[in-house]
Amino acid sequence: MHDHAAEHSGSACGHADHESVLDRAERLCRERDLQFTRLRRDVLGAVAGQARPMGAYDIAERLSGSGKRVAAVSVYRALDFLTEHGLVHRIASRNAFVSCGHDHGERDGLLFLICRSCGGIDEMTSPAIESQLGRAVAEAGFTPTSRIIEVEGECGACRERGGPPGH
């Protein structure tokens, strides 16, 4: 472990539990005077219930069980709200979404590790990378407003297991 240690949430293997994510979201919305509606809660719940990123249509399908039908467009609107407030993150390389494992409600400075074997996502932050990135970008005369960093590979659990999971 180094002093500049990066922090990571380890959601790739045993995702952050459902309840705490919803509770945190509800609290955050109360604090900011936002409407945490039924649909938004359901969408967040669906995303939080999966360790791997979910597509908007996957979410719509999952919420559409038992007579009630949820259109993809509604899911998109809920996802817009949730991403805007940092409750879920969009994985650009997959066109999919994951629930945020942090308590911050921030939208930036994050880094995603995507496992090719199990499909899981690990979310982390690294101040060291942030500062290097900020410096390199500034040298190019560029003023950043947002950034994405997504790394694909194999997570520790899958490598130890020596291949794709039985799972």
Partner DNA sequence: GTGCGGCTGATACACTGTAACAGTGCCGGG
Partner DNA sequence: CCCGGCACTGTTACAGTGTATCAGCCGCAC
Give yes or no for residue 70 binding DNA (CB under 7 A): yes
- By CB under 8 A, name the one of 20, 73, 84, 132 that touches its own copies: 132
CB-neighbour burial class of residue 121 (10 A; exposed 0-12, middle 13-18, buried 19+): buried
Give yes or no for residue 155 binding its own copies (CB under 8 A): yes
Give yes or no for residue 25 binding DNA (CB under 7 A): no
**Binding residues with DNA: total (CB under 7 A):** 23
- By CB under 8 A, name the one of 51, 111, 118, 121 that touches its own copies: 111
Per DSSP, 54 falls in state: B
Rounded Cα gap, residues 162 and 164, in angstroms = 7
DSSP bridge partners of 123:
112
Is 26 within any annotated ligand binding site? Answer: no
Binding segment for DNA (CB under 7 A), chosen from 73-81, 126-134, 139-147, 157-165, is 73-81
Whole-Å CA distances, 109 to 42, 50, 93:
27, 23, 17
Q: Please compute Rg for the chain using Cα positions.
A: 17
To DNA, the closest distance from the beta carbon of 147 in angstroms equals 17
Residues in contact with DNA by the rule CB under 7 A: 34-35, 37-40, 55-58, 69-74, 76-78, 80-81, 95-96
